[in-house]
Amino acid sequence: MLPLSFEFYPPKTDDQRSQLDRTARKLAAHAPEYVSCTFGAGGSTLSHTPETVRRLTQHHGLDAAPHLSCVGGSRAEIRELLTLYRAIGCTRIVALRGDLPSGMGRPGDLRYGADLVAFIRSEFGDTFRIEVGCYPEIHPQADDARTDLRHFKAKVEAGADAAITQYFYNADAYFHFVDSARRVGIEIPIIPGVMPISNFSQLRRFSEACGAEIPRWMQRQMTAHGDDADAIRELAADVVTGLCERLIAGGAPALHFYTLNLSKPTQAVLARLS
């Protein structure tokens, strides 16, 4: 089996914290290489991310990699947060540009993901392994695929160690993207991001917002089951398992699962893979 990693988001309530604890315990059994924790720039989750990273590291014994966004933050604030993560024992950072929260007018001292990567390297050297984001189906705000690839290369040249893709359901999009990256001299590992399906209506909303394409055949098969929740869960697990099998056969270096703090959809896929 390839190296695995799981993404969590920081809980805000006691119920959400209990849910994350249950999920972390169950997925820890799969021996992930690391887990990541998302970041909300300028919002209420900002204070919850370090707290969650500390709990994942100290309570669950996981190698936790906090997401760090540069929007809305000063260099001093980012430096302070990185110093805290180093003290917690973090050895990885997922460095992202992020999106400016609604109503926030100040973009921050660093404008782009490449700026954030360069800042981390200049301030902390090789303290952290830096993962960055990339988009097999093109970033929704990019002018075109070539421009998007140029932005990706800038992050690599600034010092990124590896990249995690946005989720997708078309394996060919991933393989084409990797080939395109290699042709322009990007040699770092490009790890596919995998989104197990727990709620198809929710997935459609996510996909519209982030530019991930849901294939027509997949939508047709999902809607054909109507309200049959069991059938939808089985189909969802089979679809994502088939995607992972193609990625593994095609040479993907690892798999990164977007869990939404749920264990069952991811476990259903891993059970089929194993």
CA distance 140 to 273: 31
The answer to whether 58 and 87 are in contact (CB under 8 A) is: no
CA distance 96 to 83: 18
33 flagged as catalytic = no
* Residue of 7, 80, 234, 245 marked catalytic: 7
Please, what's the b/e burial string for 5-28 (b: 16 or more CB within 10 A of its CB; e: otherwise)? Answer: bbbbbbbeeeeebeebbebbeebe
The closest of 174, 166, 167 to 247, measured between CA atoms, is 174
CA 41 to chain centre: 16
CA distance 148 to 97: 13
Q: What single string gives the DSSP state of each residue in 37-94?
A: E---TTSTHHHHHHHHHHHHHHTT---EEEEEE-TT--HHHHHHHHHHHHHHT--EEE
238 SS3 class: helix
Helix 14-28 / helix 264-273 crossing angle, nearest 10 deg = 10
Give the DSSP H or E segment for 171: helix 171-183
Give the DSSP H or E segment for 17: helix 14-28
List, by residue number, the catalytic residues: 7
